[in-house]
Structure 1
Amino acid sequence: MKRKATSSREPIARCFFLFIGNITQLTDMEKPPLRLLNRQRCCDYAKAAQEARAESDGEWRHLSESVSFTS
């Protein structure tokens, strides 16, 4: 029994066409985003990184504010 040659390539082809669709939409936008996160995993990672930065900034806020100049 012979396996389909395209079976292992179908997910890659689908991702490729979805990505091309995203790029096509971007070219039609008046103000496209500076960054584009493709795939759910990338969005989850970016959200976790943003939350970690915000937490770290919060821990050091007192030090940042201590060097502020008043007008």
Structure 2
Amino acid sequence: MHETDETIEIYDLKGLNCPLPVLKTRRKLQDMPAGTCLWVETSDPLAAIDMPHFCAENGHRLIETVTVENGHRFLIRKG
């Protein structure tokens, strides 16, 4: 866990399938200042492929990917 986890917003996208987790994450990050971190929780197995690709294509940094029961958590720093 990161020191500041308690201050990082968790965006719950469990239950949504591709491409909705990426589309909703993109929209959420648009309204956040650069350098802000966001935990994104998903249950879509394809998110493990889609989120890293989304971050790389859009200049965001994928800090951590965690496999959790029924899905993944992604820690993203907005570029």
Scaled by the length of structure 2, the TM-score of the pair is 0.23
Rg larger in structure: 1
Higher strand share: 2
TM-score, normalised on structure 1? 0.25
